[in-house]
């Protein structure tokens, strides 16, 4: 597959631009009853994700492309099928290459 299925990309679930840490990515999210969320991101150009922290845990898996995540200053390269757990409060950022798709699970409400 080259893209997430259309049912995962409905307009009502689009991540607002002002809530993206990476400019020009296409993101969609879903919220569970407990407030935790899943987000699906597609990066169409090489981009940098600004450093940030969350007050909840995060799980990330690279579906396609390459994502270089920086956690507390240490870089880890994620290729398709590779995953990482980011504990709450951890300083994180990164870089994605064009064509990269990732899925994130947040232990709290990331997108409002």
Taking the model in full, what pTM does it have?
Answer: 0.93
Sorted by sequence, the CB contacts under 8 Å of residue 3 that are 6+ apart come out as: 42, 101
Q: What is the four-CA torsion angle of 33, 26, 58, 56, rounded to 10 degrees?
A: -60
Please write the tens of the pLDDT for every residue from 25-49: 999 999 999 999 999 999 999 999 9
Sorted by sequence, the CB contacts under 8 Å of residue 33 that are 6+ apart come out as: none
> The domain 6-106 belongs to what CATH superfamily?
Jelly Rolls (2.60.120.10)
- Segments making up each domain of the chain, as ranges: 6-106
Please write the tens of the pLDDT for every residue from 56-105: 999 999 999 999 999 999 999 999 999 999 999 999 999 999 999 999 99
């Amino acid at each position: 597959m080259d893209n997430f299925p259309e049912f995962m990309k409905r307009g009502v679930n689009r991540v607002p631009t002002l809530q993206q840490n990476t400019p020009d990515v296409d993101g969609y999210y879903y919220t569970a009853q407990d407030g935790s969320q899943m987000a699906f991101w597609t990066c169409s150009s090489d981009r940098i994700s600004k450093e940030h922290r969350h007050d909840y845990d995060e799980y990330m898996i690279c579906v396609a492309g390459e994502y270089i995540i920086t956690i507390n200053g240490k870089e880890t390269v994620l290729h398709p099928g590779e995953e990482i757990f980011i504990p709450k409060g951890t300083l994180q950022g990164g870089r994605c290459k064009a064509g990269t798709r990732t899925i994130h699970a947040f232990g709290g409400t990331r997108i409002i």
